[in-house]
Structure 1
Amino acid sequence: MLRDRLVSLSINHPRWVFVTFLFLAVIAAIQLPSIQVDTDPENMLPHDQVDRLYHEEVKQRFGMHDMIVVGVVNDSHPAGIYNPASLSALHSLSESILTLDGVIRQDQMALNLVDDISQEGVGSIRFNWMMQQPPESQAEADAIRDAVERLPMLQNTLVSGDNQAAGIYVPITHKSESYRLSNEIQAIIDTLDSEDEFYMAGLPIAEDTFGVEMFIQMAISAPLAGLMIFVLMWVFFRSFLLITAPMIVAMGAVIITMGLLIGQGFSVHIMSSMIPIFLMPIAVVDSVHILSEFSDRYKPGENPREALKNVMGHLFTPMLFTSVTSSIGFASLAFTPIPPVQIFGLHVAFGIMLAFVLTILFVPAYIMSLSNKRLAQLKDHNIQQDDNSLLGRVLSWTGRFSVKAAKPLLAVFMVVILISAWGVTQIQINDNPVRWFKSDHQLRIADRVMNNHFSGTYDAFLVLEKADAVPPHQQLQQQLESALDQANIDPALRASLDEKLSAAEDQDFDRYTSELGALLDRASYQDRDNEDFWLDLLDLVEAAQIEAKYFLNPDVLKYMDQMMLTLEQSDDIGKINGLPTLVKTVFRELNGGDEAMYRLPETARGTAQTLLSFQSSHRPDDLWKMVTPDYLSSLLWFQLSSGDNQDVSRVMQQVEDYIAANPLPEGVSANWAGMSYINVVWQEEMVNGMLNSLMGAFVMVLIMMVVLFRSVKMGLLAMLPLSITILFIYGLIGWVGKDYDMPIAVLSALTLGLSVDFAIHFLERARAIYRETGSWPATVDEVYKGPSRAISRNAIVIAIGFTPLLLAPLVPYITVGFFLATIMAVSALVTIVVLPAVIEQIKNKDRLFGGKQEA
């Protein structure tokens, strides 16, 4: 049998086991320095995922970039930010940021980099830099304030509505540059002689900063957790001999698994950074069971080989099944549509099976390498015979109480289950990378301050697109050919026109109509007899050219304008910037500057002329961030004060409701893009994927339990602690109001593995003891002297061992630490309290356990 071969290898060739183990650990450790950290939530979706592809396409189409938002706040000066000193600091900071590598200079937005749009005379407009030089007097600062307040595009975007804060929008080449740039910007801020307060916010900086701090935390939390487990195991067992082997196995499993992940070229994401934390407790458990069992069976002076063979023969099967079931729990994450979660689940599953193999090979080899004197010390620290310890007395009482008060206990747990089920219904699916930091972190503080002053530092983009059933060049070609067929014109002119018309599909429509218009204009001069005919065709071409630019259509702009005005009444939406706002602003200045003229032109030609005037500004390309050059797509920039998925989803629903009540113009579609939207998408995919993987893994584990125990009843009993623990944990999450985020979702896999592990050991030993004694009371007594103590100590060691995570500055680590401890405590409690109570209610225990076997 494979079991016997593995045991024989470890017992007879311990040095080979040690050398092989060391070799694998060294090879894996060599890979660790090449680690690549990735915390981009966009990578939670596959590269070919539809929403992600569309998001990237929208960014390219409209020239959008990830941005760091720098806030300058002055709430002490009577004029707020509009004072010479604050505006001078803002000007200096903005100019210095332009010099940094990684900043897209032409798209940076600040008061010194935007235009003051003013009226120069009827039909003409003036574009001056808003703040080319810092103001030298309060009067000049007030003039800047007055100019900003006349420009809706800037108000509450570049300067807050309360006039106490101004922003600098820093577009960057890639979000992975944001942490470096934020430090360089902070270094510039530190050199400023200013009494203003400075903040930096935005999703890119939050995500990249988390990546850096996650890397640091990974290097601190895992060793601290390991040290805590080591200390606690020593407190329990008082023997370095007992605890050294489990710690070596755990550390080896972690190093080899992480080395494999990094060596394969995978980036370390937020989930894979937690592999050591998830893997370490599982890797420790089996080693402790072997050492505990060995110390109970071994007698000093005897040959340890026989004792080891007996122990491994007794524990191999339950250990194998606990490892496989735990692996299934994590491997099931491979069926989620989230690549980082898939990688995490598969590598933890590998690590668990690796830990099992290392335990089977290394621990017996470790025992065989000990001298007789040290082997004798194991007996001195026998952890299963210490019945007078506090834990021993508590467990003995628990066993008796669980049996005697079985019915009341089960009634209590039924109430807990019902309450937990209600708690599950209260769970709210929500995530926000900014919330991955503690509330006192500088990024959380900046987020609160800036979103309190401004319309919002979170972006979402609603893209309106026109799709014609018949391409515009085809429509124009049909109209022109129909008119030409009815006219008597020079054959040579007709031939040249036919040639031009036939080439329509090969050219951009705007260029095509311009060339066609020039041809018709020449024809009107060459063919004076048909001049009116050619001019009519020229008007037809010009009209088609304007009509094809769909988002110049007054009715369409009015629809967009009304949508923006209505949605901006929502408390969830800070502000919406879009083409209608720009058109109304420029049109007002072209028509005398009176507020009554702040409206949309009546014709498409008027809109086109308005936008042509804007093209004379210092930032003409800003137009193409609102509409594409062919005017067939237009983007609405939603500024939101919250990036929480729930809040973003509520905004999306409000837009959907508006469109339902006010249908989009025919042929127009509306689609979302932006990181806030992408976060909503991967959260929904994760939740559905996690639910499916959990259900599939649950069924697989149930089948395995039935196979292991060769009994449907025993299989169902083994699933009981798992089921109650999962329900309780998620009920607790709903009760305390903790958002269901990525770390919480993955905890289901950990619950699946650890809860069923305890049940397997408990039931396997209970069945073996019952077959020896034939008495349920005697079985309870013996079970609470051995397996229950091992289960309890494992649970206590692991639960308390991960308390260092509660001190981490990153919320996901705190979440994992707290709920990992809770999972261990609840699953152990259900195993040693509820299982005996349930078994007590089963009348035919001989059938359940297989009856007493004759010696």
Structure 2
Amino acid sequence: MNRIANKLVEISSRKPRWVYAALLLLTLGVGSQIPRITIDTDPENMLAESHPARTFHNATKTQFAMHDAIVVGVVNDEHSQGIYNRSSLTDIYNLTRSIQAIDGVINADLMSVSTVDNITQAAPGTLRFEWMMPQAPQSETAAQQIQTDIERLPLLYDTLVSQNGKAAAIYVPIEDKNESYRIAEQIRAAMDKYDGTEQWYITGLPVAEDQFGVEMFVQMGVSAPLAGLTIFILLFVFFRNIPLIIAPMVVAMATVIVTMGLLIGFGFTVHIMSSMIAIFLMPIAVVDSVHILSEFADRYKPGEDLNVVVKDVVGQLFTPMLYTSITSSVGFFSLMLTPIPPVQIFGAFVGFGILFAFIVTIVFMPAYLTRMSDQALANLQQAMHQGVSARGTRIGRVARSIGNIATGYPRTLLVGFGVIFALSIWGITQIQINDNPVRWFKSDHEIRVADRVLNHHFAGTYNAYLVLTDKREQQTPANLLAVDAMPESLRDWRQQTLADISAGNHAEQLQNLIFAIDDKLFGDVTASETAYLEAVMAMTETADSQGKTFQNPQVLAYIAGLQSHLGASGLVGKSNALPDVVKVVNRELHSGKANDYELPDTASGVAQTLLQYQSSHRPNDLWHFVTPDYRSSLIWLQLTSGDNQDMSAVVSLVRDYISANPLPEGLTADWAGKAYLNVVWQDNMVAGMIDSLIGAFIIVFVMMIILFRSLVYGVLAMLPLTLTITFIYGLIGLVGKDYDMPIAVLSALTLGLSVDFAIHFLERARATYQQTNSVKQTMAMMFAGPASAITRNALVIALGFTPLLFAPLVPYITVGVFLASIMAISALVTLLMLPAAMSAIRSIVFKPAN
């Protein structure tokens, strides 16, 4: 290893300008890709495009014409009639018309009080479909009539207007969810024109995700420079020499630019995780440089040969730096084992960035240090000794105090760490897996405020879809027109008929076959042909009737029973499904009174209600609940919470209900909707993180044994990271912090960087003992020098993440808090646990040199 290090130092020292030029060209060349950046905050992309849950979700949206929607809400708490007053309804009417004029809005499916039908009875057996609010109400009486009409329609009540009458909603379906921020901004501009007593809100997952993307882009441009500034200030405090600390800043900036440039250049979008790459790499990239600067500042004396000192410093640190870089990158590369694409990309590029930073450090730092002027070196010596008391620097005094505790009370410390470990294991069992894109914003953000207000008033702004499908095999026209029983004279007619009716879905083919047989029967046919055709006609009509599963009253009754069970559970705000449509139309076809709000007794009765419903102004609304062949139906669930814990509870509720009340024969139930996709990717992430963590742990353990050529030292190296990981995640469980996406990936950083400190401590301790042959003297020397370097590095990394604490987005704050905590804890555990463990088993750890 030292030969490689010496060769690299020699080349870079002799050709520093070539090193500068190569690094500059590489950084500028790759960095030129950064302006091509595209932002992606869609939680769907947490799953691969081919994932079955995502495939089914997208197929369901297409099959039932479901679109991502922005939810606009209005609340009037001041008027005695809530929103059912002339002024509020006029504003809703006018805003709806403004929204319809926005490019990208699907007007046909927009739901507002002014765009839906009021269904009433014109006469017994006849329906009247009128716009609920064809124009702004001209009087308070007209406004009150709208309240009466809406409360008679379960599909609208508590969906478009809240039960307390204080709030109304406009559901704005959009063609492209990536345009939701633009559309939301135009809606906000339109809302600002109204100065009545109402409060207006905008929420919904599409606008939350797109809004996050906009703010994330801003955050990327703020956090990374702030982290760089923080690190620069820290290095100045440590070394008091600006020319010297420029070198690690160059390494950090080059690493960030090249890594992000490669990510964007390869065509990857910047997701919430990859947006943090810069802030992750900025502190990590300077770690090796700080080790070199610390050692160089301690070793160099005026008049010495710079090349010789630099070569000695890099030669001594090369092996531990190599292994710490590899172990850190392994921690991040392990994220590629997860089935979550954005996490895979994040892990791959941070892992690459760490290795790239190591290479740049080894090549650039010697070139830079050997070019420093005599005056700069003299200033370095003055700064390093300025303010140093007889007891050493402040960091040195802290390190020695930690050393006194570690070596003075080893058994007490180990018992204490054992208790902490046990409590942490219990805390891990209390972790709750949960995430919600709306909660990525702070609690006072307008998206969060709107989410709370509207979900308080309405049945819920979060959607999930339960899709029931009849999977039984159906009779095909070819099977019905059996050749073996067919008169020979009809063979040509059969072939031509099958060709003519081949287009369309199965139900359309059966209908067309009925028409074709009927036409043939009206022609010149023989008795045998008539008998055959009439038999086939009867079988086709039966197949057509039985094939329309969701016109069967028993099947609809099962759905209605499931809806009632969901509503009574308290987990679902409301559900809308085909039985609701059928019951409303059936009521109005009969008496118009509540006692007729029921399902018809026959399939033909159901068919009649649905045929009547298609005479409305919005006939295509029917196909949001059932497919045209009536073989698949959708239950739309409205949830007041987007937390995946709540969605998981709903899934379990439905599973238990189906277990106790089996689905009608041939039916299957599957889930779709963004709330459900969150559950799927969270489950995949947890399983993937466990696999990646275990895999990385084993790899790092093997690397430690190889590095130290000792099983004992390998085990010692793993102690700090084991306790740190366990403690951090145990603490998460104990304090009740949800295990979300940012928290999940922190395990990789904990594993990589916690072992870094241990490597440096153990490597230097073993080398020092070979020189002193005294455990006491070895520990004293360790806490006089190397411990200070470890403390200094921990401060650089921990404080380097603190700019994230001021971010407006919760995931960034979470990362900042926990990364700073992880670095502080892992360094402290290393400096306390390792000396205590080594002292407790000194006879095994410290062996005299031969």
TM-score bracket for this pair, using the shorter chain length: over 0.9
Q: 1:421, 1:727 within 8 Å by CA — same for their partners in 2?
A: yes
Question: Letter of the aligned partner of 1:165 in structure 2?
Answer: A
Equivalent residue for 1:165?
A: 167
Match of 1:88 in 2: 90
Distance apart, 1:802 and its partner CA: 2.2
Does the 8 Å contact 1:773/1:852 carry over to 2? Answer: no
1:510 is matched with: 507
1:434 aligns with 2:438: yes
1:523-570: per-residue Cα shift (whole Å, max 9, x none)?
555569898997676455333322211111111111111111111112
Residue 154 of structure 2 aligns to a residue whose secondary structure is coil
Quick one: which amino acid aligns to residue 446 of structure 1?
A: A
Aligned to 1:569, the other structure's residue is in SS state helix
Give 3-state SS (helix, strand or coil) of 1:156's partner. Answer: coil
Structure 1 residue 399, shift from structure 2 partner: 1.1
The residue that corresponds to 1:457 in the other structure is 461
- For residues 521 and 388 of structure 1, what CA distance do their matches in structure 2 show? 105
Which residue is equivalent to 1:822?
821
Query: Closer, same or farther in 2 for the Cα pair 1:586/1:776, shift >3 Å?
Result: same
2:329 corresponding residue in structure 1: 327
Secondary structure of 1:381's aligned partner: helix
**Alignment map for 1:423-822 (pairs within 5 Å):** 423-473=427-477, 476-477=480-481, 492=489, 496=493, 500=497, 508-522=505-519, 525=522, 538-822=537-821
RMSD over aligned Cα atoms: 2.0
Looking at structure 2, the residues matched to 400 and 241 of structure 1 have their Cα atoms a distance apart, in angstroms, of 36
| Conserved 8 A contact 2:180-2:210 | yes
Is the aligned partner of 1:378 residue 2:380? yes
| Counterpart secondary structure, 2:192 | helix
SS at match of 1:382: helix
Deviation by residue 1:822-841 (Cα, 9 ceiling, x = unmatched): 01111100111111000011
CA-to-aligned-CA distance 1:3-23 (integer Å, 9 cap, x gap): 222111121111111111111
Output the amino acid matched with 1:388: G
Matched, 1:851 2:843: no
Residue type at the aligned position of 2:169: G
Q: Which residue of 1 aligns with 2:248?
A: 246
Q: Secondary structure at the match of 2:404?
A: helix
What stretches of structure 1 of length at least 5 have no aligned partner? 486-490
Residue number in structure 2 paired with 1:300: 302
Q: Which amino acid aligns with 2:303?
A: G
What is the alpha-carbon distance in structure 2 between the residues aligned to residue 524 and residue 324 of structure 1? 82
Distance 1:497 1:371, change over 3 A: closer
What letter is aligned with 2:426? W
Measure, in 1, the Cα distance between the counterparts of 2:827 and 2:509: 76
Structure 1 residue 799: deviation in Å?
Answer: 1.7
User: Where in structure 2 are the equivalents of 1:307-322 lying within 5 Å?
Assistant: 307-322=309-324
- Look up the match of 1:276: 278
Flag the 1:529–1:395 CA change in 2: closer, same or farther, 3 A: closer
Letter in 1 for 2:640: S
The CA deviation at 1:313 is: 1.0
Residue matched to 1:48: 50
Q: Look up the match of 1:488.
A: none
Q: Distance in 2 between matches of 1:47 and 1:535?
A: 49
Unpaired runs of 5+ in structure 2?
A: none
Tell me how far apart the structure 1 counterparts of residues 484 and 458 of structure 2 sit (CA, whole Å): 56
- Residue 187 of structure 1: aligned partner: 189
Residue 426 (structure 2) pairs with residue 422 (structure 1): yes
Q: TM-score, normalised by structure 2?
A: 0.96
Q: Which amino acid aligns with 1:468?
A: R
Q: After superposition, what is the alpha-carbon deviation per residue over 1:97-141, rounded to whole angstroms, capped at 9, x for unaligned?
A: 000011111111101110000001111100000001011111101
Corresponding position of 1:58: 60
1:399 matched to 2:403? The reply is yes
Offset of 1:476 from its aligned partner?
4.1
Give the distance between the partners of 1:824 and 1:68, measured in 2 at CA.
Answer: 41
Moved more, 534-543 or 345-354: 534-543
Of 606-615 and 496-505, deviating more is 496-505
Tell me how far apart the structure 1 counterparts of residues 499 and 40 of structure 2 sit (CA, whole Å): 52
Q: The residue matched to 2:789 in structure 1 has which SS?
A: helix
For 1:34, give the aligned amino acid: R
Match of 1:127 among 126, 129, 154: 129
Greater CA drift, 494-503 or 165-174: 494-503
Question: 1:261–1:347: 8 Å Cα contact kept in structure 2?
Answer: yes
Q: Could you tell me which amino acid in structure 1 is paired with residue 210 of structure 2?
A: D
Q: Structure 1 271/508 Cα, relative in aligned 2: closer, same or farther at 3 Å?
A: closer
Please say if residues 477 and 501 of structure 1, whose CA atoms lie closer than 8 Å, have aligned partners that are also in contact.
Answer: no
The answer on 1:219 being equivalent to 2:224 is no
Q: How far apart, CA to CA, are the structure 2 residues paired with 1:493 and 1:787?
A: 97
Among 6, 11, 14, the residue aligned to 2:13: 11
The one-letter code sitting in structure 2 at the alignment partner of 1:513 is L
- In the alignment, the residues of structure 2 paired with residue 307 and residue 514 of structure 1 have an alpha-carbon distance, to the nearest angstrom, of 91
Tell whether the 8 Å contact from 2:497 to 2:516 is kept in structure 1 after alignment.
no
How many residue pairs align between the two structures? 844
CA distance in structure 2 between the aligned counterparts of 1:263 and 1:515, rounded to whole angstroms: 54
Contact persistence 2:550–2:633 (CA under 8 A):
yes
Q: 1:262 to 1:536 in 2, by over 3 A?
A: closer
Deviation at 1:314, TM superposition (A): 0.4
Against the structure 1 CA distance between its residues 504 and 357, is the aligned structure 2 distance closer, same or farther, given a 3 Å change threshold? same
8 Å CA contact 1:323–1:353 kept in 2: the answer is yes
